[in-house]
Amino acid sequence: MRARLNALTDVEKHYLRKEHLLFPYLEKHGITGPPKVMWAKHDEARALLRAALEALAAAPATAAEARAVVALAVRPAASAIRDMIDREENILLPMAQDTLGELEWWEIARQSAEVGFCLVEPREDWRPAAAPAPAVDEPVDSRRIRLPTGTLSAKELEAILNALPLDATFVDAEDRVRYFTHGKDRVFARSRAVLGRKVQFCHPPSSVDTVDRILQGFRSGKQDRAAFWIEQRGRFVHIEYVALRDAAGAYLGCLEVTQDLTAKRALTGEQRLLSWTEEHADA
């Protein structure tokens, strides 16, 4: 049962693909209500799944205890996920099929690999006949971006931002997501479908009030930073929101910075000497 339930947690990737790929395209067509309701149902299913995993981790000692865990924890989680499947097949997907065009589905399909797939990987890529021909790789613009402390090419700037040991997302003054770093080890999933999307739609409904309070505080000038830290699957994650302003103090937007500080939090003493492994040295 524990092994099967662990496999079922893969549904998280399915929910993420809906939240970060399908919902943004529906919102572009003015459909906002059903995604909000469904995201809240995702969170309910997630909570039930976590509770079931915790109950099973306690390793019931008797058959009667095991039956009680299944009835009180496992069965509600499975039921919530099954109910979501019914909502998808009978409401969400028919509505999406009637609303989205073929090229929009193609964009969703193209970006799905960035989030991952639930239990089953597609065996082949899909490319509609109407899709534009694959673009030939073009050299990155070699012009230098001039900043007060030096110059960078676009290629250098992208490499620097993606090498930072953190995830950064920029939300503009209109609360729209305009940029995010895409390093190899992100803490939270991001896809290009969120670009141009209202940041409120990038968070579960239970968090929207907090997001609005932070942005209102930044926009009014009363606040400049908001920090949170959480324990997530054995990791210590630090999340900080920083207000961005120009030289005159006008609000430009917000920078969200997320860091996995688990390893750094465990550091003790000092390290003054280089300690590369042979593998790293050869690389």
DSSP assignment letter at 22: I
Enumerate domains of the chain plus CATH numbers.
2-115 (1.20.120.520), 144-265 (3.30.450.20)
pLDDT of residue 8 exceeding 80, the answer is: yes
Tens of pLDDT, residue by residue over 222-253, are 999 999 999 988 899 999 999 999 999 999 99
Q: Label residue 56 by pLDDT band (50, 70, 90).
A: confident
Alpha helix locations (H) across the chain?
Answer: 2-8, 11-17, 23-28, 33-57, 63-69, 75-87, 93-99, 102-115, 154-163, 205-220, 262-265, 278-282
If you search the block for the tokens 């103090």, which residue do you land on?
249
Q: Is 217 exposed, middle or buried (0-12, 13-18, 19+ CB in 10 A)?
A: middle
Q: Label residue 205 by pLDDT band (50, 70, 90).
A: confident
Structure tokens at 261: 């500080």
* Bridge partners for 153 per DSSP: 144
Tens of pLDDT, residue by residue over 64-84, are 887 888 888 889 999 999 999
**pTM (whole model) above 0.85:** no
Mind giving me the DSSP string for 41-63?
HHHHHHHHHHHHHHHHHT--SSH
Helix axes 205-220, 33-57, angle to 10 degrees: 120
Region 146-152: what's the mean pLDDT? 90
CA 43, 45, 49, 51: dihedral to nearest 10 degrees? Answer: 70
pLDDT at 189: 78
pLDDT at 135: 62
Interior angle at CA 80, CA 99 and CA 13, nearest 5: 60
Selected residue with higher pLDDT from 134 and 110: 110
Q: Cα–Cα distance between 252 and 170 in angstroms, integer? A: 10
- What are the distances in angstroms from CA 138 to CA 134, 141, 194? 12, 9, 25
Q: Cα–Cα distance between 17 and 24 in angstroms, integer? A: 10
Mind giving me the DSSP string for 78-116?
HHHHHHHHHHIIIIIHHHHHHH--HHHHHHHHHHHHHH-
pLDDT at 196: 82
Q: Tell me the pLDDT of the chain averaged across its residues.
A: 88
Least confident of 31-45, 139-153, 175-189: 139-153
Structure tokens at 23: 């919902």
If you search the block for the tokens 């500080």, which residue do you land on?
261
